[in-house]
Structure 1
Amino acid sequence: MTQMDQKISATTGLPAGAVITDDIRADIESFERNGFIGPIKLYEPEEAAEILRALRVANHDRSHILYDNNMNYDRHFDIPELSRHIMHPTILKYLRGILGSDLLCWRSEWFAKFPGGRGTEWHQVRDYSYTDGNPLIVPTETDWNAYIDLTVWTAFTPATKETACMRFLPGSHKKFYYDEKKSVTTGRNGDYQHTKTDTGFFGYDFSEFKVDPAWDPESANPVDMELQAGECVIFTASCAHASHNNTSERQTRLAISGRYVPTHVRVYPDLSSYNAHGETFDLANYATVLVSGADTYGHNKVRSANNRDQAFSFAPLEEQVPC
């Protein structure tokens, strides 16, 4: 086993504070094996459609946006529907079962695939240093034996193989197939519009990060994660993932992701800004959002309300069975 393999295998496993209810215990066990779980139902299709209509209208209002650029990061700070979505009770129940009860949402993102759109290429992320070489999340607990970041990817339109559903390599979170620390030639060089690039990862060529350039992800039995509108998949970004091309003629696939960390993780450590996907992000007004439990570390700025002065609020932890 290489030193790199040892490093990533030490990051898997649940923390002692994970809170698992009986109804999700089998799902959490599946997550430990595979690195992802889904589909998980959050909304009825009609409710998802209603939220989608609100999102499409709100997307055009840039008056309260955190970053006025093309990436649409962190719109939970100006779109009330997303302020509520990142704290959905079902999402928090699963996150508490994997990360523990003290949690921050550190980012939200839009993922749209238009008809004829190219699929997102295979990639695997640990600390998001692929962006410009700087780690964006760093754990501070030296004996932390768990995942430091989880993504909740929610479909608001049907996500099928035809419309570019996500794909995963089961168990790949237990080994590094990509090395974010590598020096690469594509993606980190200057400003560009990620929607107009010809790469498979929004301006980056993630194959440049491969540990073994000859390794073919398609030979590793990928799993297609088809979702109905209102369903989500929860995964660790250290599980290799991708998406199909959108081969449909007139169906746009839209998903929203929320990214979450335990409160001991430092987010954007010592950074006043960062560059990713051709955009610059000024962090002067950035903050995390406490979505569960308490933050006793104080490593990160935490916002209690969005940019419209609407409070972020979550339901208190109910009686649950610790693992």
Structure 2
Amino acid sequence: MTETARAEFALSDQDREAFWQQGFITFKVLEEEEMERAWRTERLALMDRSNAIYTEDWAVSGNTNISNYDRHLDNDFLADLIMNPRITDRVASVLGEDVLCWRTEFFPKYPGDEGTDWHQADTFANASGKPQILWPQDSEFGGTITVWTAFTEATVDNGCLQFIPGSYTKMNYDETKVMEYSPERINQQTKQGMRRGFFGYDYRQLQIDPDFTPDESQAVPMVLRPGEAAMFWSTLMHASYPHSGKTDAMRLGFASRFVPTSTHIYPDTDVVEEYGGKVSLERYGAVLVSGENRYDHNRIATHTTTGHPFQQG
């Protein structure tokens, strides 16, 4: 990676080796007390959706979790988080200097919620049926770098992530297949002895080999304190435990997704349709978090001073 003025938190040689071997690393973004203090304020601020780009006025149809994507575009705390050099320096260590944040989303898990299916994502066509990111054809890799930041404690009991180390180099799922959306199956399925689902889908429907079973004996739990993060390839086999209900506290993670600027984001589409709903991309824009953008094929959000962090579209 080219040396830049923002390389303070770039991966060390040891961390870089660990990342390429495992497909993930963990690190601290904010001090625990800082995250807890900030979240007490921001959880209230985020209830105001007047500047959110996917409000009811912009939703084409459906009451769906995709309406809560990309709140970094209207919330200062989340905008600062995706631009935090503790994150962006590490991401640029892997993707190269020129990096876009193309999506963020919250992942809450409430007492009694099922775990998430084992899955991998390359083009993110898994739920929408259309590729949402496409790397250049000569690229060695695809997918995205996800930084999953714990806003609350994440434990095995309350549904932390699980990873299968080293599994990011081979896709076990075909994202050109179609999954059937059936919200009535939520919290109703047991897979390999554990309650798992995929927000109304069954990810097994995308398996290349219908007899494939993830080797859960190789899985490691991502136990995180508030303010800590796991950075991983989206093509890494990952899942989450169910929330056991032993505590009444919600587990909350915030996923920031990053790609090189050369990647095509939402190619040839103006609407995202998944999870039983649709949202318009009319106000969407990716955010340049590192380096320069030398391409003109993506919608880019720019900084503004008009009451929210970015001017969309």
Question: Which residue is equivalent to 2:154?
Answer: 159
Deviation of 1:57 after TM superposition, in Å, equals: 0.2
Taking the aligned partners of 2:17 and 2:291, their CA distance within structure 1 comes to 23
Kindly report which structure 2 residues correspond to 1:240-255, keeping only aligned pairs within 5 A, or say none: 240-247=237-244, 248-255=246-253
Q: 1:213 to 1:173 in 2, by over 3 A?
A: same
Q: Distance in 2 between matches of 1:194 and 1:99?
A: 37
**What's 1:211 paired with?**
208
Q: Percent identity?
A: 37
Does structure 2 retain, via aligned residues, the 8 Å contact 1:166–1:226? yes
TM-score by length of 1: 0.83
Displacement of 1:255? 0.9
- Superposition deviation, residue 109 in structure 1: 0.2
Please name the residue that 1:29 is paired with: 17
Tell me the residue number matched to 2:198. 201
Is 67-76 or 193-202 further displaced after alignment? 193-202
Bigger fraction of residues in strand: 2
User: Residue in 2 aligned with 1:113?
Assistant: 109
User: Which residue of structure 1 aligns with residue 282 of structure 2?
Assistant: 284
- 1:22 and 1:70 map into 2 onto residues whose CA distance is 36
CA deviations 1:223-277 (Å, max 9, x no partner) are 1110001000001110010000111331210111100110000100010102011
CA distance in 2, matches of 1:278, 1:195: 13
Maintained 8 Å contact 1:117/1:246: yes
What is the TM-score when the length of structure 2 is the normalising length?
Answer: 0.86
Give the corresponding residue for 2:78: 82
Number of residue pairs matched by the alignment: 291
In the alignment, is the contact (CA less than 8 A) between 2:117 and 2:203 conserved in 1?
yes
Deviations along 1:53-83, one digit per CA (max 9) or x if unpaired, are 1221022111111112542100001111101
| Alignment partner of 1:129 is 2:128 | no
2:260 to 259, 262, 267: 262
Give how far 1:127 is off. Answer: 0.4
Classify 1:195/1:104 alpha carbon distance in 2 versus 1 (closer, same or farther; 3 Å).
Answer: farther
Superimposed CA distance per residue, residues 140-169 of structure 1 (whole angstroms, 9 cap, x where no aligned partner)? 3x3322454110000011101011110011
Looking at structure 2, the residues matched to 118 and 310 of structure 1 have their Cα atoms a distance apart, in angstroms, of: 35
Structure 1: which 4+ aligned runs deviate by more than 6 Å?
18-22, 192-199
RMSD: 2.4
Secondary structure class of the residue paired with 2:34: helix
SS in 2 for 1:302: coil
Q: Which residue of 2 aligns with 1:235?
A: 232
Asked if 2 retains the 8 angstrom alpha-carbon contact of 1:119 and 1:246, the reply is yes
